[in-house]
């Protein structure tokens, strides 16, 4: 699936992350235009936050940071003509969505990921349950029971754990992050262009 001759960028995201929403909507198109292959890497920010002694989202722990982030998101989404609605509760539990993503072949992860983010931050919907996630699979003409069952097998649980450990080992501090073949890390939706440029130079 991965062409070793193509420039490649890993897109690391947590479904609970706000800035990963606009990033997920533009990463594939921008990468295709640059001739860069995207690898979708869902992970859980939890272990990274725990290491910084944050028990929960920094946007809730530091209300001032949270207020700024939502205003900044409003501006970003307005510019991209994306709807924005805060889900309740925020952040959403992203565990099952991440696991379901990992059951899909690489070329279907982008579409699934965008469906989840559009419902979560475009419509403010809860994305943690099987009904919701099954609906996205059905929209993609995939059998919900098959992938929802796969999602809770030990193999997939282990894959997500492994992904989160790798995120930690890479030194990620938030989502979205972009990682090049050589391990160069770019953090934030606003660093996507720089990350693509770097991937092309490697």
Size of the site for a copy of itself (CB under 8 A): 19
60 exposed, middle or buried (CB, 10 Å; 0-12, 13-18, 19+)?
middle
Of the residues 35, 47, 55, 62, which one makes contact with a copy of itself according to CB under 8 A: 62
Interaxial angle between packed helices 130-139 and 144-151, expressed in degrees from 0 to 180 and rounded to the nearest 10: 130
Q: How far apart are the first and last CA of the chain?
A: 20
Residue with Cβ nearer a copy of itself (157 or 181): 181
Q: Looking only at residues 162 through 181 of this chain, which bind a copy of itself when binding is defined by CB under 8 A?
A: 171, 173
Instruction: Find the part of the chain contacting a copy of itself (CB under 8 A) among 11-19, 60-68, 127-135, 154-162.
Output: 60-68
Instruction: Give whole-number Cα distances, 31 to 7, 25, 26, 126, 159, in Å.
Output: 10, 11, 8, 29, 25
Could you check whether the bond before residue 176 is cis, i.e. omega within 30 degrees of 0?
Answer: yes
Residue with Cβ nearer a copy of itself (54 or 135): 54
Structure tokens at 102: 């990992």
- Interface with a copy of itself includes 51 (CB under 8 A)? yes
- Interface with a copy of itself includes 82 (CB under 8 A)? no
Given strand 185-187, what is the order of strands in its sheet? 37-42, 8-13, 177-180, 185-187
Q: Which residues pair with 40 in a beta bridge?
A: 11
Residue with Cβ nearer a copy of itself (33 or 64): 64
CB of 35 to a copy of itself, least distance (A): 21
Of the residues 64, 81, 107, 141, which one makes contact with a copy of itself according to CB under 8 A: 64
Residue with Cβ nearer a copy of itself (145 or 171): 171
- Interface with a copy of itself includes 185 (CB under 8 A)? yes
- Interface with a copy of itself includes 71 (CB under 8 A)? yes
* 3-class DSSP assignment, residue 150: helix
Distance CA 61, CA 76 (A): 23
CB of 120 to a copy of itself, least distance (A): 24
Residues that bind a copy of itself (CB under 8 A): 51-52, 62, 64-65, 67-68, 71-72, 75, 171, 173, 185-188, 190-191, 194
């Amino acid at each position: 699936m991965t062409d070793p001759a193509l420039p490649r960028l890993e897109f690391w995201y947590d479904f609970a992350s706000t800035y990963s929403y606009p990033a997920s909507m533009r990463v594939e198109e921008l990468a295709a235009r640059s001739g860069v292959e995207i690898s979708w890497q869902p992970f859980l920010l939890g272990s990274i936050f725990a290491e910084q002694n944050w028990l929960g989202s920094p946007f809730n722990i530091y209300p001032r940071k949270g207020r700024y982030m939502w205003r900044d998101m409003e501006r970003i989404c307005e510019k991209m003509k994306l709807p924005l609605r805060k889900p309740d509760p925020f952040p959403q539990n992203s565990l099952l969505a991440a696991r379901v993503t990992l059951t899909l072949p690489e070329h279907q992860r982008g579409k699934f990921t965008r469906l989840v983010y559009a419902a979560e931050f475009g419509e403010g919907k809860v994305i943690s349950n099987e009904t919701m996630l099954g609906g996205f699979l059905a929209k993609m003409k995939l059998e919900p029971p098959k992938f929802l069952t796969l999602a809770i097998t030990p193999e997939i649980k282990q894959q997500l754990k492994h992904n989160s450990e790798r995120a930690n080992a890479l030194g990620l501090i938030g989502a979205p992050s972009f990682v090049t073949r050589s391990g160069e890390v770019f953090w934030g939706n606003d660093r996507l262009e720089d990350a693509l440029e770097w991937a092309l130079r490697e």
